[in-house]
Each structure stands twice: as structure tokens, then as C-alpha cells.
Amino acid sequence: MVNFPGIWMTTSESMVYRVVPKCACSTIGQIMYYSDHGSFFDGDIHDAKAGLHKWALDDSQPLIRDNVTAHKSFAFTCVRNPYTRILSSFFDKICGVQRNGNYYRGSLVPQLIQKYGIEVGDPANGFEFDQIKSFRRFLLFARDTIRWRKPMEPDIHWSAMSGHISTFVGNGGRYDHIFWTEKFNDGMQVVLDRTDTPYSIDLATIPRFNESEGHGPKRLHKVEDYFDDLSMHLVYEMYKRDFRLFKYDFENPANKMPLAEIDLDEVHAKLGQ
């Protein structure tokens, strides 16, 4: 029996989406929800238990499996520059206080402070800490989780995008479209143009649903300031396939834009192995 973890599908089965954490997934989920119901989900779309089929919901699994196996609907996903994605993971998941008022994954942050010397600041003092030094230590931790699965398994928010995206291909799914967060409206418009939805969506007017905004420190420096030569090496070690397949610029962390078009045939060939 094939499985399709991380798949969301509209109830009308107009479209199928492979969720990739930290790549506009909240906004995409809300667009999918709106396209079926004419209104946005009230709350974080990740918490929705109805109005959107999700692989994590038992009742949705046979419907998703049938749809994907027969490629009945337009299937897509969305990617993001690996430099800005891992930075976002740090500020949101490690430094930020989560919706439940606690740090992400309970004991994880105290453990990191102890083992890796990572500081995360404190809301009481306005989150004052050396962001660059702390982030570079976090990179070592993220690399340890990805390479050696120690001191824990890699988290979905910093494991490679190609890993998320490959589960769909490996089990027989095929993407019709992969687009960049950096060109979100252009990419999402392709999805809407090629699907027939009960309610139409005007991308120019819909809000951005960034559920991670506002509960951690603001990034104080330019992206490239966080990455020295060693940091770039670690990022490449973790995300080599992401840079290559999704055409991002490894050489220049200051350039968040892709360098070339994504080749869907190459993605399927490389990730289907």
C-alpha cells in the first residue's frame, strides 16, 4: 500500500499539494481552502481537521491515494531558497515562542543552549543576543541532525526540501508544477489557471498567512551576514540537492532568486531513484 505523507488535497479534488515546511505552506493551504469554500479557515490551516483533505487524517487517505495514483488532479509544490529557509527556521522554531506559549519541542531549546551554546534571547529583554554567532552554532546542530541523526532526528522545518518532495515521486506521484516562494504570485497563478475551482481567487488581494510571524526576535542583519565560509559549507552539505534541483544560487547567499527554470523531468528522475 503506497503512502503519500505531507499531501493536502482540496475537497473538490481540484488540486493536490505536497506541503514543504517554511515554503508558504500556510498561505497555500488557505488558498486551497478558500477555493473550495469561498472563505478562509478561521485559525492556523495546519489545525484544520475538515474542509481540506490531508494525509494525516485517516478518512482522507483513500481519497488521496486514489487521486494521486491515477493522477486525477493538478499536483504541485513550492520551494524556497535554502539560505533564507534555514534562517527562518532558526528565528521561528528555535528563538520563537510557539502558539502554545512554549518553546518549540519542549526541551529542545534548553538542550541546544547547553550543548551547542546557542542563545535565543528573551522576550523580557527584547531578544538581545548575538544573532550571527548563535545562528552559526544552530547550523552545526542542524547539520548533526541531518548527517548523524544526533542528538535527534532532523526536524521537518530544516530537513531538505528534496527529501519532502521525493516521498511523492518515490511512491508514484508526479508533479505538474513546482514554483518558488520568491515568485509566489506567478507560481500560484499557474496552479489557479490550470485548475477548475468552485470559488475563484484573486492573488493580489489575499493576505499572506505567516503563522510564525511575530513571536520571536526580528532578524537584524542581511541574509549574507549570517553565512561565512564555514556556514556556507555546512549549508551546502545539507542542501546540495535543493540548490541543484531548484536552481538556487549557492555561491551568493545575498541572491535569494533562482538562476534558471526548474526542470520537472530532472526532478522526477533524480528524486524517483
Q: Model confidence over 14-50: pLDDT tens digits?
A: 999 999 999 999 999 999 999 999 999 999 999 999 9
Instruction: Write down the residue that cell numbers 522545518 correspond to.
Output: 157
The residue with cell 544552530 is: 138
Q: What is the pLDDT of residue 100?
A: 77
For residue 19, the model assigns a pLDDT of 98
Long-range contacts of 198-205 (CB under 8 A, 24+ apart): 198/12, 198/14, 198/35, 198/36, 198/37, 198/38, 199/34, 199/35, 199/36, 199/37, 199/38, 200/35, 201/31, 201/34, 201/35, 203/31
Please, how many CA atoms are within 13 Å of residue 84, restricted to the half-sphere of its CB? 18
- The confidence band for 121, taking pLDDT boundaries of 50, 70 and 90, is confident
Cα–Cα distance, 133 to 220 (Å, whole number): 13
Spatial neighbors of 120 by CB under 8 A, at least 6 apart, are 94, 95, 103, 109, 113, 127, 129, 134, 217
**Is 259's pLDDT higher than 80?**
yes
pLDDT at 108: 86
The residue written with cell numbers 538581545 in the block is: 128
Phi first, then psi: what are they for 245, rounded to 5°?
A: -70, -35
Say what the pLDDT of residue 7 is: 98
- Percent of the chain surpassing pLDDT 70: 98
How far from 148 is each of 151, 230, 238, CA to CA, in Å?
Answer: 8, 18, 11
With beta carbons less than 8 A apart as the criterion, state whether 11 and 53 touch. yes
End-to-end alpha-carbon separation of the chain, Å?
A: 19
DSSP state of 272: T
Q: Kindly tell me if the per-residue pLDDT of 273 is higher than 90.
A: no
C-alpha–C-alpha distance, residues 259 and 20, integer Å: 21
Closest CA to 258 of 193, 207, 163, 184: 184
